[in-house]
Structure 1
Amino acid sequence: MNTNKLLPFLYEMAIFVKVVELGSFSSAAQNIGVSPSSISRAVSRLEGFLNEKLLERTTRNMRLTSTGQEVFMLCRDMLESAKMAVSAAQSDQNNVAGSLIVAAPKALSKQVLMPMILDFIQKYPNVTFQLKVTDIMIDPIGDEVDVLIHLTNKPIEGLIAKRIGECRLILCASTGYVEKFGKPIHPDDLAQHNCLCLGENPIDQVWKFTNNTQKVVVNVSGSFVVNHSEIRRAAVLNGTGISVFPDFVILRDIESNEAVELLPDWHVSGSYQGEILAQYAQSKYIPNQIKVFVKYMQDYFNVESPNNIE
């Protein structure tokens, strides 16, 4: 086929891949930022150009035809080759430029990452930086994120993982609360205290502790439930009760004696702790802005550059 006839439909091919990967016209439209009708027209134009039906569509379902499956795989390979071409151009060690999309949890972004990111932006003004702040676990490839920063003990398989730091959970209360109600000596004592929980799911009221071989599970309750770390921190500092935080949320308050760490000999189990990892897609050509940003984070937080975490 004449290349000149093919060129006008490269956009439609990319749209077609996005529709199949996201599973619907509306999802593709939302992802790209256009109307669902324009997505539908793009796929129809591609089908007209190829003179083949690619998708069987009903009001509720969508599935690939046998021809559509083959075309999808080839179009997807075309897009991957295009991405590799861009990555190859951006992998020049002397050129730190281009776009960089980073996703990270809310509290970690505000209290830990933002000073570093602002420094990075000033040092590399030719990088267009987009930060996606979310506590929802995302797919870096499907959601088109260059670097995912998250707290975990289980890196996402198939992605490069670089250690940025680590985080532990701290049980604490304000000094005023401790003076008024006393310190719990054992995890079981928490059943008699006002404990402030996340409230994201029922098990948030089940606090688990370990100390060497000892394991204790406590069902706690309290007068205030909120899934926002800064609001919960304010409540704790106000003397409302006891709660659990990632260390970066509360350490400064402990250092200034506004808050007191409780049961320091016990390890608190739960989410929002573990290694702080930066993960990104494996490729023959890693864009230079990704490599430089990850190295910048490791240097900023004084983390040695280890081999990839498997």
Structure 2
Amino acid sequence: MDTNKLIPLLSEMAVFVQVVESGSFSAAATKLGVAPSSISRSIARLEGALEEKLLERTTRQMRLSATGQQVFNLCRDMLSAAKLAVSAAQVDKATVSGSLRVAAPKAWSRQVLMPHILDFSAAYSQVELQLKVADHYIDPIGDEVDVIIHITESPVAGLIAKPLGSCKLVLCASPSYLAQHGELTHPSELTKHNCIRLGEDPKDCIWEFLRHEEKLPIGIRGSFAVNHSELRREAMLRGMGITVLPEFAIRDYIESGEAVELLPEWRLLGRYQGQVVAQYAQSKYIPSQIKIFIEFLQNRLAQLSV
């Protein structure tokens, strides 16, 4: 097939890759923002030009033919090469521009990231910035996100990881609650207190502590549970009980005396702690907007930790 006939098929090949990766015509249409009938016509044109059946479809499922699998692998490589070409064009731009899609945890986005990402957007107005907040894992490839920021003790293997800071869990209560119910001297005493818990999972009723080699799970109970750190913090500040919060959500209140950190000699185990890392796919060409964004955050967050 000569070049003149091949060029019109490049967009059809890209659509073909999206259909296979999305799992259906309708899902591909949603991601590409077109009607399913348009997707169907693109695949039909590609199959007609190649004179091969690429997809075997029934009313309930779709699968690649043997030829379709080979074509898909090559088309996917073609699309990856096209993305590299775009990245190579952007990497040395004097003016930072282009699209930037970032995913980050909800509470961290609201309580830490928000002012910095707004400042970045104002400083680099030619960058088309999209922020996706979610507490579940975001796949930077499948979910079409350029940078994922998460709090983890195990960064995703195979992705470049840039440290932004760290976060630990803090056991805390208000001075008024402690004045009424007494100070804590050991985790086992939590069984006598009203504990404000996350409430997403039965395991949230067990708080696990670690000191040296001693691991101590404590079953807790309480009159209030909510899966939102700011609401748990508000309940704690009102003297309702003892709670566990990410350090970034309570640091300022401890420094002001509105909250008290309890049992600091014990380490709390559990989710939402570890290193705060920004991760992105490995590539020979990293777009300038990704590099500048991460450098911007590293500088800003380093100033906060001083």
- TM-score, scaled relative to structure 2: 0.94
- Give 1:4 deviation, angstroms: 2.7
Paired letter, 2:247:
D
Partner residue, 2:130? 130
Asked whether 1:46 is paired with 2:52, we answer no
Paired letter, 1:59:
T
Asked whether 1:243 is paired with 2:243, we answer yes
Paired letter, 1:17:
V
Paired letter, 1:274:
G
Partner residue, 1:191? 191
- Give 1:252 deviation, angstroms: 1.1
Q: Distance in 1 between matches of 2:151 and 2:278?
A: 9
Partner residue, 2:23? 23
Paired letter, 2:75:
C
Partner residue, 2:61? 61
Paired letter, 1:84:
L
Any residues of structure 2 matched to 1:197-212 within 5 Å, and which? 197-212=197-212
Question: In 2, are the aligned partners of 1:187 and 1:263 still within 8 Å (CA)?
Answer: yes
Question: In 2, are the aligned partners of 1:174 and 1:237 still within 8 Å (CA)?
Answer: yes
Asked whether 1:269 is paired with 2:269, we answer yes
Q: Which runs of 4+ in 1 moved over 4 A?
A: none
Asked whether 1:253 is paired with 2:253, we answer yes
Structure 1 counterpart SS, 2:141: coil
Q: Which moved more, 1:198-207 or 1:136-145?
A: 198-207
- Give 1:199 deviation, angstroms: 1.9
Gapped runs of 5+ residues in structure 2?
Answer: none
Structure 1 residues 36 and 239, CA gap change in structure 2 (3 angstroms):
farther
Question: In 2, are the aligned partners of 1:95 and 1:288 still within 8 Å (CA)?
Answer: no
Partner residue, 1:115? 115
- Give 1:93 deviation, angstroms: 5.4
Paired letter, 1:21:
E
Structure 2 counterpart SS, 1:302: helix
Asked whether 1:159 is paired with 2:159, we answer yes
TM-superposition CA deviations, 1:80-121 (whole Å, max 9, x none): 110000000010052311111111001111111111112212
Partner residue, 1:306? none
Partner residue, 2:10? 10
TM-superposition CA deviations, 1:39-62 (whole Å, max 9, x none): 333323322232211111123222
TM-superposition CA deviations, 1:168-212 (whole Å, max 9, x none): 100111222111112222111111111122122221111100111
Partner residue, 1:300? 300
Partner residue, 2:220? 220
Partner residue, 1:34? 34
Q: Which moved more, 1:194-203 or 1:163-172?
A: 194-203
Gapped runs of 5+ residues in structure 1?
Answer: 304-310
Question: In 2, are the aligned partners of 1:146 and 1:281 still within 8 Å (CA)?
Answer: yes
- Give 1:239 deviation, angstroms: 1.6
Q: Distance in 2 between matches of 1:40 and 1:196?
A: 53
Paired letter, 2:202:
P
Paired letter, 1:40:
S
Structure 1 counterpart SS, 2:177: helix
Paired letter, 1:108:
W
- Give 1:154 deviation, angstroms: 0.6
- Give 1:122 deviation, angstroms: 2.0
Structure 2 counterpart SS, 1:255: helix
Structure 2 counterpart SS, 1:56: strand
Sequence identity percentage: 61
Structure 1 residues 41 and 235, CA gap change in structure 2 (3 angstroms):
farther
Structure 2 counterpart SS, 1:199: coil
Q: Distance in 1 between matches of 2:138 and 2:249?
A: 23
TM-superposition CA deviations, 1:137-163 (whole Å, max 9, x none): 010111111111110111111110010
Asked whether 1:82 is paired with 2:113, we answer no
RMSD: 1.5
Asked whether 1:103 is paired with 2:108, we answer no
Structure 1 counterpart SS, 2:111: helix
Structure 2 counterpart SS, 1:63: strand
Partner residue, 1:172? 172
Q: Which moved more, 1:52-61 or 1:164-173?
A: 52-61
Asked whether 1:279 is paired with 2:279, we answer yes
TM-superposition CA deviations, 1:214-271 (whole Å, max 9, x none): 2110111111111111121111112222111110111111112111111111100011
Q: Work out the number of aligned pairs and report it.
A: 303
